[in-house]
Amino acid sequence: MGMQLVLLCLMLMKASSTSANGDGDGDSGCPLGSDTYQYSCPEAEAIIFSWVEQAISQDSRMAASLLRLHFHDCFVNGCDASVLLDDRDDFVGEKSAAPNLNSLRGFEVIDAIKSELELVCPETVSCADILATVARDSVVLSGGPAWEVKMGRKDSISASKEAANNNIPAPNSTVDDLLTKFQNVGLNLQDMVALSGAHTIGKARCSTFSSRLQSSSDSSDVNMQFIESLQQLCSGEDNTNKVAHLDLATPATFDSQYYVNLLSGEGLLPSDQALVNGNDHTRQIVETYVEDPSAFFDDFRYSMVKMGSLGSNTQIDGQIRRDCRTINLPN
């Protein structure tokens, strides 16, 4: 975005926040732009990429964890880095919400990126833009599609544990329940099936797929060999920290194998397998992605851009945090 546009945008934001209806509804925010940091922080994307590259080289699961952070950010009042705020004595953030607690990873990587960016170009690159960029870089570094990340998101000055509990879909959901959560934030069925393909990388804890373990050989659509391997993994007293690959066949490669697995009954989460067993429309889309992996890549990048812009049109009172874990105090 050019400097004039930025100024115009800031003026509009100010006007809308002082108008009678300055409650954040309506198109009062600034559009995301291609060249937001072109002059203010031209090194931003290279700095982010090199940290993501280093983090993944030390821990290949980190690609998945960073991708998921962006999703959990965007589904809760838009992509505004609310997910990164730490709980404090007088502040409850989203990290302790059920879908996030003992589950989200990668906060230290974001801290490292933010620290370097604050040295190179202070108070310029938002934490929300960092999250959107690390998600893209993680996909690319795992062999998936690339897309341009539009920038200019602002960081929130609040968080909502309640919204995190309500908005983020749960792994035992039916397709209808999943769809409701996606539609609530402005995404559709096609986005839902494409974005679920993110489960081509990463891991999940036994507790998130425990209902799959109860599957019996009575149902013809259950892959018992797969279920038995999971039962074995999750057996024993303490399985709190035991995890399984979301995509057993190519766990760290971003490809369309996830959909192949669903067709053979090897979806890990109940919500994954439901895309094939629970709804004809979602099943058809899965079949399309198996036949034509490039259609998955195209749809995934399209839906990531769409998800990454959630909230950007309505956000009026954000800031650029100096530390992603905490709201800036007034100087």
Under rule CB under 6 A, residue 96 binds ligand HEM: no
Q: Which stretch binds ligand HEM (CB under 6 A): 35-43, 58-66, 125-133, 280-288?
A: 58-66
Q: Which of 37, 71, 259, 296 binds ligand HEM (CB under 6 A)?
A: 71
Task: Answer yes or no: are the C-beta atoms of 132 and 70 closer than 8 Å.
Answer: yes
- Residue position matching structure tokens 């749960």: 170
Task: Answer yes or no: are the C-beta atoms of 16 and 22 closer than 8 Å.
Answer: yes
Under rule CB under 6 A, residue 67 binds ligand HEM: yes
Question: Which residue is nearest to ligand HEM, using beta carbons?
Answer: 202
Backbone φ and ψ of 173, nearest 5°? -70, 150
Residues 101-140 that bind ligand HEM (CB under 6 A): 103, 105
Q: Which stretch binds ligand HEM (CB under 6 A): 17-25, 126-134, 188-196, 321-329?
A: 188-196
Task: State the nearest-atom distance from the C-beta of 39 to ligand HEM, in Å.
Answer: 31
Under rule CB under 6 A, residue 64 binds ligand HEM: yes
Under rule CB under 6 A, residue 171 binds ligand HEM: yes
Under rule CB under 6 A, residue 306 binds ligand HEM: no
Q: Which two tokens mark 135? A: 């998600």
d(CA 53, CA 44): 14
Task: State the nearest-atom distance from the C-beta of 201 to ligand HEM, in Å.
Answer: 6
Under rule CB under 6 A, residue 205 binds ligand HEM: yes
Taking Cα atoms as reference points, which of 270, 216, 225 lies closest to residue 246? 270
- Residue position matching structure tokens 């094939």: 276
Task: State the nearest-atom distance from the C-beta of 122 to ligand HEM, in Å.
Answer: 30
Under rule CB under 6 A, residue 234 binds ligand HEM: no
Residue closer to ligand HEM (CB basis): 4 or 241: 241
Helix (H, G, I), strand (E, B) or coil at 85: coil
Instruction: Report CA 111 to chain centroid distance, whole Å.
Output: 17
Q: Which two tokens mark 210? A: 């425990």
Residue closer to ligand HEM (CB basis): 1 or 168: 168
Residues serving a catalytic function are: 72
Residue closer to ligand HEM (CB basis): 16 or 144: 144
Q: Which stretch binds ligand HEM (CB under 6 A): 15-23, 31-39, 169-177, 210-218?
A: 169-177
Task: State the nearest-atom distance from the C-beta of 21 to ligand HEM, in Å.
Answer: 32
Task: Answer yes or no: are the C-beta atoms of 292 and 269 closer than 8 Å.
Answer: no
Q: Which of 269, 276, 286, 310 binds ligand HEM (CB under 6 A)?
A: 269
Helices (H), the chain: 3-18, 44-58, 62-74, 107-120, 127-141, 161-167, 175-184, 189-196, 210-213, 224-234, 257-263, 270-277, 280-291, 293-308
Task: State the nearest-atom distance from the C-beta of 212 to ligand HEM, in Å.
Answer: 12
Taking Cα atoms as reference points, which of 5, 13, 307 lies closest to residue 154? 13
Task: Answer yes or no: are the C-beta atoms of 63 and 54 closer than 8 Å.
Answer: no
Q: Which stretch binds ligand HEM (CB under 6 A): 122-130, 201-209, 281-289, 311-319?
A: 201-209
For the chain, the distance separating the N- and C-terminal CA atoms, rounded to the nearest angstrom, is 27
Under rule CB under 6 A, residue 95 binds ligand HEM: no
Instruction: Report CA 212 to chain centroid distance, whole Å.
Output: 24
Kindly list the residues in this chain that would bind ligand HEM in the complex (CB under 6 A). Answer: 61, 64-65, 67-68, 71, 103, 105, 169-171, 173, 178, 192, 195-196, 198-199, 201-205, 208, 246, 269, 271
